[in-house]
C-alpha cells in the first residue's frame, strides 16, 4: 500500500487500557475518559468492553454527544424510550446521536461473551440539543477493501478508495485495519484533526522513523502531521483502529453520561432528567424489557 505523505505523525503518548468494572457486571478497558486522559477533542470516551449475560448496561441516560458501538464478538441488544429496539452482531456498527436526550439499555444477546468497542464523540454546542437518532450498519454493508497486504473496513470517512455512508456531525474518521505480516499501512489524515490508534490484535510499529511498538489494548496518541504509517514487522497479523476527528475547541462540562459546555447546562440537564422534561418526557413511564426480565426496579 503506497500512499505518500510529507509528515507522518509520531506517537506522543502511549497508554495500556486496563480492565475496570462498569455497568452491571461488565468489564471495560477504558483508554480515553480516564484520569490520565480525560478528553482528546472531540473524543470523550473509548471503551473496549466484554460482557456476558446477565451482566450488561441497563437503562441509563445520555445527552450532548454521540456513541459509536462496534461489535467484535457476540451481540448486543439495544432498547430506548422512543421504542427503538435492535440487535447488533459481530462486525456491525451503531452510530447513535443522543442529542437532547435518550434513555436506553445495552445488554448482551444470547449465550457467551460479547465484545466490542464504544466511542463517545462530542457534539458542538449547536448540535447538543438536536433530536436523537441512529445510523445502524450491518457488517456486510461496511465498505471494505484490500491492497498490498492491508485490509481496511471503513466505519466512517474514507480509505483506499472506499467510503463510509455514515454521516458524522462532528467530522470523524474511523478505520479498522488488518495488516499482514511484514506489510505496512499508510493513511492520510487531515493535518488539523486529532488522531489516535488502538491495537486490537498483534503488534505494530507506529509513526515514522524509529516508530513506537505497541500490542493489544494500547492506545497511541498521534502528534501533528498529514498521515499515519504503521508497520507489521512480526509473523502474525496486526489489527488496529485508526480514529481521527476535527477538534471542536469548546469548553467541556461533563457529569457521567451528560456532556455540555457549562456547569449551568449540566445542572439544567440533571433537572430535566429528574423531572422528565425537555427531551426526557418518555423516561417517566419507560423501562426496558431487559430490566423487566432482570427484575430490577
The angle subtended at Cα 71 by Cα 31 and Cα 139, nearest 5°, is 135
Q: How far apart are the first and last CA of the chain?
A: 54
Residue 25: DSSP 8-state: T
What is the rounded CA–CA span in Å between residue 8 and residue 264? 41
Residue 56: DSSP 8-state: B
How high is the pLDDT of residue 2? 43
Q: Which of 70, 5, 1, 19 minimizes the C-alpha distance to 222?
A: 5
What is the dihedral sign for C-alpha 154, 188, 224, 9? positive
Residue 40: DSSP 8-state: B
C-alpha Rg value of the chain to the nearest Å = 19
Domain 11-245 sits in CATH 2.60.120.10? yes
**Tens-level pLDDT at each residue, the chain (297 residues):** 445 577 899 999 999 999 999 878 888 999 999 999 999 999 999 999 999 988 899 999 999 999 999 999 999 999 999 989 999 999 999 999 999 999 999 999 988 999 999 999 999 999 999 999 999 999 999 999 999 999 999 999 999 999 999 999 999 999 999 999 999 999 999 999 999 999 999 999 999 768 999 999 999 999 999 999 999 999 999 999 999 999 999 999 999 999 999 999 999 999 999 999 999 999 998 998 877 776 655
How high is the pLDDT of residue 1? 45
For residue range 219-250, list pLDDT tens digits in order: 999 999 999 999 999 999 999 999 999 999 99
How high is the pLDDT of residue 6? 79
Residue 236: DSSP 8-state: S
Domain map of the chain by residue range? Answer: 11-245
Provide the 3-class DSSP secondary structure of residue 54.
coil
How high is the pLDDT of residue 55? 87
List % helix, strand, coil for the chain (3-state, nearest 5).
Answer: 10, 50, 40
Q: Which of 131, 151, 93, 108 minimizes the C-alpha distance to 281?
A: 131
How high is the pLDDT of residue 51? 93
The angle subtended at Cα 215 by Cα 190 and Cα 248, nearest 5°, is 30
Contacts of residue 35, Cβ cutoff 8 Å, sequence gap at least 6 = none
Provide the 3-class DSSP secondary structure of residue 57.
strand
Amino acid at each position: 500500500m503506497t500512499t505518500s505523505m510529507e509528515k507522518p505523525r509520531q506517537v506522543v503518548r502511549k497508554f495500556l487500557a486496563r480492565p475496570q468494572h462498569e455497568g452491571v457486571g461488565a468489564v471495560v478497558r477504558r483508554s480515553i475518559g480516564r484520569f490520565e486522559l480525560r478528553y482528546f477533542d472531540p473524543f470523550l470516551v473509548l471503551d473496549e468492553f466484554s460482557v456476558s449475560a446477565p451482566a450488561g448496561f441497563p437503562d441509563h441516560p445520555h445527552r450532548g454527544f454521540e456513541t459509536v458501538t462496534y461489535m467484535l464478538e457476540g451481540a448486543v441488544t439495544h432498547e430506548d424510550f422512543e421504542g427503538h429496539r435492535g440487535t447488533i452482531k459481530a462486525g456491525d456498527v451503531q452510530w447513535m446521536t443522543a442529542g437532547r436526550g435518550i434513555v436506553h439499555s445495552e445488554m448482551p444477546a444470547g449465550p457467551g461473551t460479547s465484545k466490542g468497542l464504544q466511542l463517545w464523540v462530542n457534539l458542538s454546542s449547536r448540535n447538543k440539543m438536536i433530536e436523537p437518532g441512529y445510523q445502524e450498519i450491518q457488517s456486510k454493508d461496511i465498505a471494505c477493501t484490500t491492497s498490498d497486504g492491508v485490509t481496511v473496513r471503513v466505519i466512517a470517512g474514507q480509505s483506499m478508495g472506499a467510503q463510509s455512508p455514515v454521516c458524522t456531525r462532528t467530522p470523524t474518521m474511523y478505520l479498522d485495519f488488518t495488516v499482514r505480516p511484514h506489510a505496512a499501512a499508510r493513511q492520510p489524515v487531515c493535518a488539523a484533526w486529532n488522531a489516535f490508534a488502538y491495537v486490537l490484535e498483534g503488534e505494530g510499529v507506529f509513526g515514522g522513523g524509529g516508530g513506537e511498538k505497541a500490542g493489544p489494548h494500547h492506545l497511541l496518541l498521534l502528534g501533528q502531521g498529514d498521515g499515519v504509517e504503521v508497520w507489521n514487522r512480526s509473523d502474525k497479523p496486526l489489527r488496529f483502529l485508526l480514529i481521527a476527528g476535527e477538534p471542536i475547541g469548546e469548553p467541556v462540562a461533563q457529569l457521567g453520561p451528560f456532556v455540555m459546555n457549562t456547569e449551568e447546562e449540566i445542572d439544567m440537564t440533571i433537572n430535566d432528567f429528574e423531572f422528565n422534561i425537555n427531551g426526557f418526557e418518555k423516561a417517566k413511564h419507560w423501562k426496558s424489557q431487559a430490566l423487566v426480565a432482570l427484575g430490577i426496579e
